[in-house]
Amino acid sequence: MKIQPAKSIRGEIKVPPDKSITHRMIFFAAMAKDRCEIENPLMADDTLRTLDLVKNVGSDVEYNKGKLSIRMEKISEPISPIFCGNSGTTARLGLGFLSRLPLFSVIYGDESLSSRPMDRVVEPLSLLGSIFDGRNEASNLPISVRGGIVKHANYRSKVASAQVKSAFIIAATAGDGVSTYTEPITSRDHTERFLNAFGITIKKGNLIEIKPSIIPSFKSRVVGDFSSAAFFVTLGVCHRNAILDIKDVGLNETRTGFLNVLKRMGAKIEIRNVKNDFEPYGDLHVESSNLEGTEVLDEEIPSVIDEIPLIALLGVFAKGRTVVRGASELRKKESDRIKAIVSVLSKMGVHIEEFEDGFEVEGSKLEGAKIDPYGDHRIAMMAAIAGLCGNGVELTDPKVVSISYPSFFEDLEKVER
């Protein structure tokens, strides 16, 4: 796909529903005591893998007019391995979900997912009583699970990971007593925010208490995905002639560290019309901006982890240098994202230095280039935004955006002038 520079950016956009929240709502609904309804779920490659997982163990799933209806009819042991595709959230939260159930199951993924670490989830879940086996001592998929939680545990995580935390919490709700989970830095809190509404979790700083509980039947609406909105925010502030409104975006503070980085860089951005359900949400108004380089601190990384490719692109349009450190977790995503960011921007004429845990980028002009996005949806979308704001780009694998944002290119066309 060839993307030409845009003369101007104008209009209003509504981004897809939040991927992280959709995954969690599907699992919560399959855990609940009766049928649940999820309005405005994201129906993309990754979340369809999660739907397939819960269906494989006995959940009845119906989708009609933008609403998902889910009920665990009868727990049943799957007769074949469950495919997680490229979805790390399906695999990791899925291991927590399967740990609850008194059955044997096997999950596997594509080549990329099969190289990503699963031991960080297997370790805490093993403390709760589940038995795992798999490649490299259950560090990599495929992995088998013998579930049926009978224990409680206190676990202190070495990594600030919402996936690890959520897997443990999901499993621990089926334990025989109160469990606790402590993380070094607060990561995105969609799981405990939802369960706290039912008194299932209690947060005390970075420690979370989890009570054995059954989730009641619920109805919930999924807000717009902040990580998807971030691409249009970046387009708005980096393009030399842009005024853009992004509607109904999730504004959970554990997800919006990117806004703090933007404001520090001098971006013209306003938050408008804030409302609250299980999650806060509102509108974002952005305009072309004169940016200054910045340094992203270690403690900010969990709240900007999905937006780091965009921070690199912001650095290209900023005066001075932009530095990201403490982000070694990026090497374990759909691609080695640090390597991918450096490779893509280097091909576009940017001076960028790679570190083991991040990069340093200098403000410069973008050149046109042919880009391989390394099978990574966020790298593909970053490159597309770079092409619109710079001198164009040719993407060799544009379809990869369907993992999280199937209508991405159609939405870009709506705001190009």
Listing DSSP states for 50-77 in one string gives: HHHHHHHTTEEEEEETTEEEEEE-----
Hunting for tokens 């560290």 — which residue is that? 257
In our burial notation (b when 16+ CB lie closer than 10 A, e otherwise), range 364-379 reads bebebbebbbbbbbbb
310's enclosing H/E stretch is helix 308-317
DSSP state of 224: B
Q: Amino acid letter at 255?
A: R
DSSP state of 230: H
Q: What is the bridge-based pairing of β-strands 67-72 and 59-64? A: antiparallel
As a whole number of angstroms, the distance between CA 409 and CA 395 comes to 12
Q: Which residue from 415, 410, 407 is spatially nearest to 16, judged by alpha carbons?
A: 407
Q: What is the bridge-based pairing of β-strands 318-319 and 291-292? A: parallel
Distances (CA, A) of 216 to 29, 31, 74, 197: 9, 9, 17, 11
Hunting for tokens 């979805």 — which residue is that? 87
Contact yes or no for 87/50 (Cβ under 8 A): yes
Residue 127 phi/psi, 5-degree rounding, is -65, -25
Q: Which residues contact 214 (CB under 8 A, 6 or more apart)?
A: 31, 32, 33, 173
H helix intervals, 327-376: 337-347
Sign of CA dihedral 374, 378, 379, 384: positive
Q: Which residues contact 352 (CB under 8 A, 6 or more apart)?
A: 312, 341, 342, 345, 346, 359, 360, 361, 362
Identify whether 306 is a catalytic site residue.
yes
Q: How many residues does the chain have?
A: 417
Please give the structure tokens belonging to residue 227: 């990580």
Catalytic residue among 133, 306, 372, 376: 306
Residues annotated as catalytic (active site), given as ranges: 306
